[in-house]
Structure formats: C-alpha cells, structure tokens
Amino acid sequence: MLFPKWTNKVPLVLLASLVVLLCFIVFAFAYWGSPKNYVVGYQPVQPIAFSHKIHAGELGLDCRYCHFNVEKGRHAGVPPTETCLNCHNIVRSGSKTGTAEIKKIHDAHSKGVPIQWVRVHKLADFAYFDHSAHVNKGVSCVECHGRVDQMDEVRAAQPLSMGWCLDCHRNPAPHLRDKKLVTNLAWTPGGDPAELGREFMKKYNVQPRTDCSTCHR
C-alpha cells in the first residue's frame, strides 16, 4: 500500500473546498461589488421621505445633531426615532405629504419598531474606516458625502474605493479645513486650498499612512 487509507478522502475534500471557494467569490462580487456599494449616484428610496435639503440646508441643522457619534467613534451613527421626535413632537408640516411622512415617525415610535433606513454608503467588511479620526483632523463631511445639504434624498457622491481613499491619504492638504468648519458644507477656502491645507496639516499633525494595515486590520 503506497498511501494510507485516509488519503482516499483528499479528492473529496479538495472538491468541497473548491466549491466553497467558488461560492465565496460569487458572494463577494454580489455583495461587495453591488452598485449599492460603489456606484456614484446610487440613491435609494427611504422608508420616510426625510429631506436633507430642508433640514441641513434650509433650516441649517448641524450634521452632528442626528449623526451624533461622528466626532467620537468609528461610525457616524444613525439617529433613533426619538431624535426625530425631539422636533416632530411639536413641529408639524404645512402640507398633506409632509404630515403623512411625520405620521410614519410617530407610528414607528408607538409600535417600538426602528425606522428601516436604507444604507447609502457602505464599505466592504475588510476595510476599516473611523469617522472621528477624519473629522477631528479637519476633513469635512462634504469630502466624502458631497453637498448633502442640497439633496432631498441622499445619494453616493464619491466612489469610496481604495484608490480614491489613497489619493487623499497621499495628498491630504486640499481636503483639510478648520475643525470648526467640518459640518459647514457650503464653506470654501477663498484661496489656494492646498496652501491652506498644509497649514492645517501642521496644526493638527496630519500624517496619513498608506500601508495596508491602516485600512485592513
């Protein structure tokens, strides 16, 4: 006998491993390669017609009121229904459409069911991104999310691809501003953004890394 008996199972194990690998590849392309995750312009319909143009634009509501964790943690945070009701327990809409949408908020709260907001920006699970590390160094929300204050329904404004992120890490200066202005989406530097950004690089000690372990941990 040239080989032990257990080697008879090797072809089956290899075949099963190949099938699992192929299934994972298909899943990876379907999940991480979905247009929902990388196509600029992706704009899903939300369960409630919340207008960022009205709230963040016309009313001037600060991004951090709803996305409360953006300065403290990895995730910006999706506002719970109670946050909406801080205003909408009192504020009513003057239109039938607006009143109907606000009623959805009250119905969700009374039933104890979270509003199922549809995620617009999604990185692959193998990519690490920390919101607080960026906004506390002077990177504005507008750099990744665009002029949300001009959008009724939020859409993907940037590809959020690895190459796109690396371009910024290699040359961060044009994307920096005073930390006090990170949620002022309409702000413009009024001069050379790169020159101003280099000042903030020194002030905030901005030294972005480009090695693999920065984003893949």
Task: Give the domain ranges of the chain.
Answer: 52-78+117-214
Comparison of pLDDT for 25 and 36, the residue scoring more: 25
* Average pLDDT of span 21-44: 73
* Average pLDDT of span 41-63: 95
Question: At 14, is the pLDDT very low, low, confident or very high (cuts 50, 70, 90)?
Answer: confident
**How is residue 176 annotated by DSSP?**
B
**How is residue 213 annotated by DSSP?**
G
pLDDT of residue 103: 94
Question: Per-residue pLDDT for 30 more than 70?
Answer: no
Question: Per-residue pLDDT for 31 more than 90?
Answer: no
Question: At 88, is the pLDDT very low, low, confident or very high (cuts 50, 70, 90)?
Answer: very high
How many residues does the structure list for the chain?
217
pLDDT of residue 15: 84
**Contact in structure between 67 and 79 (CB atoms under 8 Å):** yes
**How is residue 2 annotated by DSSP?**
-
pLDDT of residue 59: 94
Question: Per-residue pLDDT for 203 more than 80?
Answer: yes
**Contact in structure between 175 and 204 (CB atoms under 8 Å):** no
Count Cβ neighbours within 10 Å for each residue of 170-195 and write b for 16 or more, e otherwise: eebbebbbbbeebbbbeeeeeeeeee
Q: What percent of the chain has pLDDT over 90?
A: 72
Helices 81-88 and 96-111 cross at an angle (nearest 10°) of 130
Comparison of pLDDT for 30 and 166, the residue scoring more: 166
Which is nearest to 48 in space by CA: 75, 70, 81?
Answer: 81
Residue 169 makes CB contacts below 8 A (sequence gap 6+) with 208, 209, 210, 214
* Average pLDDT of span 70-83: 94
pLDDT digits (tens, 9 = 90+) for 100-119: 999 999 999 999 999 999 99
Distance CA 198, CA 188 (A): 16
**Contact in structure between 175 and 197 (CB atoms under 8 Å):** yes
pLDDT of residue 93: 78
Question: At 96, is the pLDDT very low, low, confident or very high (cuts 50, 70, 90)?
Answer: confident
The strand pairing partners of 139, in sequence order, are: 176
pLDDT of residue 1: 54
